[in-house]
Structure 1
């Protein structure tokens, strides 16, 4: 069985939209594309190298696929080797649309059921880059095996977030972490079941507390 492994660049406030450049994704009026450039450091580069060091296939949302397909097959310079690896890898695109997928080795995945079947099959692990719309669906379907979150010391205020609408409540267990010289926190998690609420309250609720709860219930708090 394959694993589904996510890797996301995010800001301190959880935004992952358009880290690579100003024109990468301006949807919703996002004007801070390229926010990652001045925070990228050697340790983050090493993490990316480790992520793509073995055999892998790519799992992408349709918009991230469009971004990748217009860039990576044509890249030159120091990124050419990674572009060649992306070119050879199978690209599985989660989309209900019927638009062409012209990049070689590209395959349409219509829904989470089809992805679950793909995951049960043989082949290399499926690595997600970008693709913010996938995470709520994958987490809800229980298809994420591991998630590496690279949190950069920048606050963006708005934009597409890693855990967007539809994300289910769940617990995560940290299995690895480091802080880079530039202040980026790289943390890797695995799912660890549902959220188990508790309480720090050490005494029975006072009359003032009961009144506060009543006002909260009535929308007056």
Structure 2
């Protein structure tokens, strides 16, 4: 049985939209794409190598799948844990529009029973079933308590606009911090394990 994990890049104000390139995702008029590259460093690369080294399969949204498919097949390197695993492990794609994924091995999860399909994919995975990027899928998974571990890479920039990982109306959830580090360029990397609904109480007088 695998573990479903989410790894995502965030700004200080929680934005996850278009981290990798200026033209990656300009939906809703977003004009600040490509905010990760100015801060990427060896510490970030080391951490991401560790994460991908634990991967048994991937669960991606259609847009992230297509962004990866346009890049990683052309940059295959057996010595690179990211390229090696992305190109060889199964990619489950949550999509109602993608019918024949060209970058394999891949399987489309598009049924009405998506939650059950995700659980079956996780149970069939040895290691981690990893979600990378895939903002809307990540929100959908978090709303159903399906994410078992979150790797949040917090970059030293805030934008004031863009799609956020935790939108208004998301489930109030408490988390346990299981690991933390900071890279040389100021990226704060925190690993959390959700532990149920958030508690609330007053300070004692």
TM-score when normalising by structure 2: 0.90
3-state SS in 1 of match to 2:53: coil
Q: Paired residue for 1:178?
A: 181
Number of the residue aligned with 1:36: 36
Give the number of aligned pairs.
202
Partner deviation per Cα, 1:116-172 (whole Å, 9 max, x = no partner): 122223433211110011222212222111101010100111112112355211101
Match of 1:19 in 2: 19
3-state SS of the aligned residue for 2:96? Answer: coil
Larger radius of gyration, structure 1 or 2? 1
SS in 2 for 1:137: helix
The alignment partner of 2:83 has SS state of: helix
Aligned ranges for residues 22-171 of structure 1 at < 5 Å?
22-75=22-75, 82-110=82-110, 111-164=114-167, 167-171=170-174
Deviation at 1:13, TM superposition (A): 0.3
- Please identify runs of 4+ aligned residues in structure 1 that moved more than 4 A: 76-81
Structure 2 runs not aligned, ≥5 long: none
Which is strand-richer, 1 or 2? Answer: 2
Q: Say whether the 8 Å CA contact 1:145–1:190 is kept in structure 2.
A: yes
Deviations 1:75-112 (A, max 9, x none): 26899663232111100011223433111111011212
Q: CA RMSD in A?
A: 2.1
Contact 1:93–1:109 (8 Å) recurs in 2: yes
> Using a 3 Å threshold, how does the CA distance of structure 1 residues 65 and 154 change in structure 2: closer, same or farther?
same
- TM-score of the two chains, using structure 1 as the length reference: 0.84
Partners of 2:84 and 2:94 lie apart in 1 by 22
- Please name the residue that 1:206 is paired with: none
